[in-house]
Amino acid sequence: MIYQQLSNHKRKHLALLIDPDKHTPDSLIAIAKRAESCGVPFIFIGGSLIQSDLAQAVRTIKTQFTRPVILFPGSVNHVTPEVDALLFLSLISGRNAEFLIGNQVIAAPLIKQAGIEVIPTGYILVEGGASTSVEYMSNTRPIPAAKTDIAVATALAGEMLGMKLLYLEAGSGAVNSVPSAMIQAIKLQCNIPLIVGGGIRSVSDLQRVFAAGANIAVVGTSIEKTPELLDEMMKVAP
Ligand code: 1GP
């Protein structure tokens, strides 16, 4: 079960987010090869708006990468049996019923048919200093970065609803990643593993997020710009 690997509390994990639209087949092979050789434990694949062939991208990645490829879906259309597991996201920081339950109802039979491992995930959008694709596409407002109490209450509600993971998201390309105080406060109150992503651009950003308590940190944009950074980041992923 991939969930068991993700929730191994003895380890901190770095997950590489790949948006297939940002790649050519050759660059996809190159990044998957790099991820394999430097020991990246998981690749997340997804994006708010994907126009390329996601299933084909997964197949290409898997020619080089032997560890789990996990779907981080932006829409129902992204469901494909090629992935090893899927974060079944509910956007619990928002109040848009389509992203809380509507799309999940449409996707559930397709996921069942595909036989993919499902990981129920409370997805919490946090203000990151730039307006992001998730915010626009989901038509929801992120939790203000200073409102730790709202983020903790939201995370607790997610855990009480039976979510198996929490995902604190500043949004792809965020100017500011999720504040340490918010990560720490959620870790203090919740027992389920915490993923943190959005705007992690350097080794020191990554160290800060791990030190604050994130179990899994997700990086996308910075590796698209500077693939070598992945090797540096993997050195500090304990
Ligand atoms: C994953 O959306 C993020 O949660 C990825 O963010 O592209 O800013 O690394 P970056």
Q: Which helix (H) or strand (E) holds 91?
A: strand 85-91
| pLDDT of amino acid 8 | 86
Give the pLDDT band (50/70/90) at residue 57. very high
Task: Quote the mean pLDDT of the chain.
Answer: 96
Instruction: Give the single-character DSSP code of 192.
Output: S
| pLDDT of amino acid 1 | 92
Ligand 1 atom closest to residue 44's alpha carbon, by position in its atom list: 1
Please give the C-alpha separations between residue 149 and each of 15, 152, 154, in angstroms, as whole numbers.
27, 5, 9
Of residues 150, 211, 164, 161, the one with CA closest to residue 192: 164
| pLDDT of amino acid 53 | 96
Contact of 15 with 39, CB cutoff 8 Å: no
| pLDDT of amino acid 183 | 98
Please indicate whether residue 236 or residue 166 has the higher confidence score (pLDDT).
166
Residue among 169, 216, 230 to mutate when testing ligand 1 (max atoms within 8 A of CB) = 169
Q: What is the pLDDT of residues 134-188, one digit of tens each?
A: 999 999 999 999 999 999 999 999 999 999 999 999 999 999 999 999 999 999 9
Q: Which of 1-15, 24-38, 50-64, 173-187 has the lowest mean pLDDT?
A: 1-15
Mean pLDDT confidence for 192-205? 98
CA of 114 to the centre of ligand 1 (A): 26
pTM for this prediction = 0.97
The answer on pLDDT for 9 being more than 80 is: no
**Quick check: CB of 198 below 6 Å from ligand 1?**
yes
**Quick check: CB of 45 below 6 Å from ligand 1?**
no
**Quick check: CB of 17 below 6 Å from ligand 1?**
yes
**Quick check: CB of 174 below 6 Å from ligand 1?**
yes
**Quick check: CB of 158 below 6 Å from ligand 1?**
no
**Quick check: CB of 200 below 6 Å from ligand 1?**
yes
Mean pLDDT confidence for 25-46? 98
Ligand 1 atom closest to residue 171's alpha carbon, by position in its atom list: 2
Dihedral angle sign, alpha carbons of residues 60, 64, 68, 72: negative
**Quick check: CB of 218 below 6 Å from ligand 1?**
yes
Dihedral angle over CA of 80, 86, 87, 89, nearest 10: 40
Report CA 88 to chain centroid distance, whole Å: 11
Percent of the chain whose predicted confidence (pLDDT) is above 70? 100
CA of 168 to the centre of ligand 1 (A): 10
